[in-house]
């Protein structure tokens, strides 16, 4: 059998077409998820997909400048793990982030929590860019606690705060926000106890933040659950009842439940106690939500304040426990209560450090030297959390003329 050779022109044409298709495929792959301008960082909630890019093959294209895109890496439910350990810190002190990281991500841990207060009238972009950068670099999950709203102007302030906070690249996909703090105590709500007013503010804040981004995960402002009704306080359950009366179903709009279960009396109770004066006060709050207010959701619990007061501080206070007892109680609380309770997603003791008299709750002294209980909790075994974290990649832009 005799085989005829193909004409040279057809062979050349075949090679040319093959090379052209390979080049075109390469250009399409480079063009995925890129902006038209250089020096741009773009945030996506999923990995690159060719459906997001339309390549105009009628233009002459070349490789342009290097740009960066980021997205949130999705973790399957089978791989999900949560590191419950956290600490209450402040945006203004850079060194607090390092101290928090060394505590909550120690001994096997990763992606622990921090609570950071945020004034709804603070629009200092440089400061908060630094905060979110440190959170990302140190693998810290923030719960941002709103404060200092003016109730007579809450709508405008809420809108601006929601837009401002949404403008940053959060380190994980879920954006935890706690809507103010212990509002059943007059000193935290413009000198008055006003459950109906707070219910309206909470309702509007949930809606406004969700309108900005579905990834906002909205928590109530935790209540002072052990306070009795008097001239400056309202019993937390009475307060919640009045809130629900003003805005029916308000608590069903939440994504999670913020709680302040302190060991009373005098922040010195036993870790084995139960009830509203104990470190398990959230159990009574959740039961009240379900049994009395008709909430059917299983709200995950975020303990945004707790802890024992210690005698040591800038002045010694013998009415509080010593550091040895505080350390022992915290170890028992974590090992035997909070870590065993699947409803509890985060435990954030108050506070890294604050001016006297709150230094009796501090985990380090004024010079940043850890107290004994800091080191005891640091040594507890922790889990490496696996949230849907932000992932960053650099590629070169395709410039077409």
pLDDT tens for each residue of 97-132:
999 999 999 999 999 999 999 999 999 999 999 999
- Domains for the chain: give ranges and CATH numbers: 8-73+389-400 (no CATH), 81-379 (3.20.20.80)
pTM: 0.85
Contact residues for 25 (Cβ-Cβ < 8 A; gap 6+): none
Q: What angle in degrees, to the nearest 10, is found between the helix axes of 236-246 and 195-212?
A: 60
Helix axes 195-212, 154-166, angle to 10 degrees: 30
H helix or E strand, kind and range, residue 392: strand 390-400
Residue of 252, 360, 379, 279 lying closest to 316 (CA atoms): 360
Over range 53-58, report the average pLDDT: 52
Evaluate if residue 175 carries a pLDDT over 90: yes
Residues 6+ apart with CB under 8 A from 212: 162, 163, 166
Strands 61-72 and 390-400: antiparallel
Query: Which strands form 344-347's sheet, in the order they lie side by side?
Result: 257-259, 301-303, 344-347
Confidence of residue 47 (pLDDT cuts 50, 70, 90): low
Give CA angle at 227 (226, 232), nearest 5°.
165
Q: What is the pLDDT of residue 69?
A: 77
**Residue 76 predicted with pLDDT over 80:** yes
Average pLDDT over residues 63-92: 91
pLDDT per position as a tens digit, 347-377:
999 999 999 999 999 999 999 999 999 999 9
Alpha carbon dihedral 224, 226, 227, 229, in 10-degree steps, equals 110
For residues 100 and 102, what is the distance between their CA atoms, to the nearest angstrom? 5
**Residue 228 in this model has a pLDDT that exceeds 80:** yes
Per-residue pLDDT band at 205 (split at 50, 70, 90) = very high
Ramachandran angles phi, psi of 237, nearest 5°: -75, -35
Which residues have C-beta within 8 Å of that of residue 293, sequence separation ≥ 6?
A: 240, 241, 244, 251
User: Token match 């009795």: residue?
Assistant: 228
Residue with tokens 């609570």: 115
Q: Which residues contact residue 218 at a Cβ distance below 8 angstroms, ignoring those fewer than 6 apart?
A: 177, 179, 205, 206, 209, 210, 253, 254, 255, 256
Handedness of CA 89, 93, 99, 104 (dihedral sign): positive
């Amino acid at each position: 059998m005799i085989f005829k050779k193909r004409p040279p022109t057809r062979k050349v044409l075949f090679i040319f077409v093959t090379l052209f298709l390979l080049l075109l495929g390469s250009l399409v792959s480079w063009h995925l998820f890129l902006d038209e301008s250089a020096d741009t960082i773009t945030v996506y909630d999923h990995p690159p997909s060719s459906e997001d890019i339309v390549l105009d093959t009628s233009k002459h294209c070349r490789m342009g400048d290097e740009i960066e895109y980021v997205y949130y890496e999705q973790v399957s439910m089978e791989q999900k793990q949560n590191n419950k350990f956290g600490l209450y810190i402040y945006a203004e002190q850079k060194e607090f982030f390092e101290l928090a990281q060394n505590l909550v991500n120690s001994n096997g841990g990763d992606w622990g929590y921090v609570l950071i207060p945020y004034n709804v009238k603070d629009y200092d972009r440089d400061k908060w860019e630094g905060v979110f950068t440190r959170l990302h670099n140190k693998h810290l999950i923030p719960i941002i606690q709103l404060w200092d709203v003016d109730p007579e102007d809450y709508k405008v302030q809420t809108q601006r705060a929601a837009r401002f906070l949404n403008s940053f690249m959060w380190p994980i996909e879920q954006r935890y926000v706690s809507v103010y703090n212990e509002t059943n105590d007059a000193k935290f709500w413009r000198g008055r106890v006003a459950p109906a007013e707070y219910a309206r503010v909470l309702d509007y804040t949930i809606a406004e933040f969700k309108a900005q981004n579905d990834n906002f995960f909205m928590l109530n402002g935790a209540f002072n659950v052990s306070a009795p009704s008097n001239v400056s306080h309202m019993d937390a359950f009475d307060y919640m009842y009045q809130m629900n009366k003003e805005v029916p179903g308000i608590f069903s709009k939440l994504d999670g439940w913020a709680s302040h279960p302190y060991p009373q009396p005098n922040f010195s109770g036993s870790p084995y106690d139960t009830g509203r004066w104990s470190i398990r006060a959230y159990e009574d709050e959740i039961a009240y939500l379900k049994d009395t207010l008709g909430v059917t959701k299983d709200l995950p619990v975020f303990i945004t304040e707790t802890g024992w007061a210690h005698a040591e501080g800038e002045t010694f206070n013998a009415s509080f426990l010593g550091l040895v007892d505080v350390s022992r109680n915290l170890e028992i609380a974590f090992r035997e209560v909070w870590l065993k309770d699947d409803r509890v997603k985060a435990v954030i003791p108050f506070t890294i450090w604050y001016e006297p008299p709150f230094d009796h709750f501090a985990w380090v002294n004024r010079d940043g030297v850890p107290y004994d209980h800091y080191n005891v909790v640091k040594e507890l075994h922790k889990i490496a959390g696996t949230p849907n974290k932000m992932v960053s990649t650099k590629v070169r832009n395709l410039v077409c003329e």
